[in-house]
Amino acid sequence: MTNALKDRVALITGGTSGIGLACAQRFADEGATVIAFDLKETQDWKAFTTDYPSALFYSIDVTDGPAQKAAVAEIEAKFGAVDILVTAAGVREAGPITMVDQVQWERVININLNGTFLSAQAVLNGMMNKGKGSIITIASIEGLVANEGGGAYNASKGGVVLLSKNIAMDYGRKGVRCNAICPGFIETPMFDDIMNDSSMTDVRASIQNQVKLGRFGKPEEIAAAANFLASDEASYITGHSLVVDGGYTAGHSHGIVQMLGLG
Report the alpha-carbon distance of residue 72 to residue 85 in Å, rounded: 11
Report the alpha-carbon distance of residue 192 to residue 186 in Å, rounded: 9
pLDDT tens per residue across span 111-167: 999 999 999 999 999 999 999 999 999 999 999 999 888 999 999 999 999 999 999
Q: What is the CATH number of the domain that holds 145?
A: 3.40.50.720
Q: Is 201 exposed, middle or buried (0-12, 13-18, 19+ CB in 10 A)?
A: exposed
Report the alpha-carbon distance of residue 56 to residue 58 in Å, rounded: 7
Question: Based on C-alpha coordinates, what's the Rg of the chain?
Answer: 18
**CB contact set of 33 (below 8 Å; sequence gap of 6+):** 7, 8, 9, 10, 54, 55, 79
Report the alpha-carbon distance of residue 201 to residue 154 in Å, rounded: 22
| pTM more than 0.75 | yes
In angstroms, how far apart are the furthest CA atoms of the chain? 62
Average pLDDT over residues 59-81: 98
Report the alpha-carbon distance of residue 243 to residue 260 in Å, rounded: 28
Look at 242 and 93; give whichever has higher pLDDT: 242
Residue 53 included in any domain = yes
Coil/strand/helix, residue 206: helix
Residue 203 included in any domain = no
Residue 234 included in any domain = yes
Q: Which residues are catalytic?
A: 153
Residue 199 included in any domain = no
Residue 257 included in any domain = no
| Residue 244 amino acid letter | V
Residue 157 included in any domain = yes
| Residue 194 amino acid letter | I
Query: Sorting pLDDT into bands at 50, 70 and 90, what band is 245?
Result: very high
Q: Please calculate the CA angle 68-69-70 and round it to the nearest 5 degrees.
A: 90
* pLDDT for residue 193 is more than 90: no
CB 239 within 8 A of CB 168: yes
Number of domains in the chain: 1
Residue 204 included in any domain = no
Burial pattern 107-135, b for ≥16 Cβ within 10 A else e, equals: bbbbbbbbbbbbbbebbbebbbebebbbb
Reported as type and span, the H/E element at residue 59 is strand 56-59
Report the alpha-carbon distance of residue 86 to residue 89 in Å, rounded: 9
pLDDT tens per residue across span 13-62: 999 999 999 999 999 999 999 999 999 999 999 999 999 999 999 999 99
Interhelix angle 219-230/18-29, rounded to 10 degrees, is 50
Residue 194 included in any domain = no
Give the domain extent around 115. Answer: 9-188+217-252
pLDDT tens per residue across span 140-156: 999 999 988 899 999 99
Rounded to 5 degrees, φ, ψ at 11 are: -110, 130
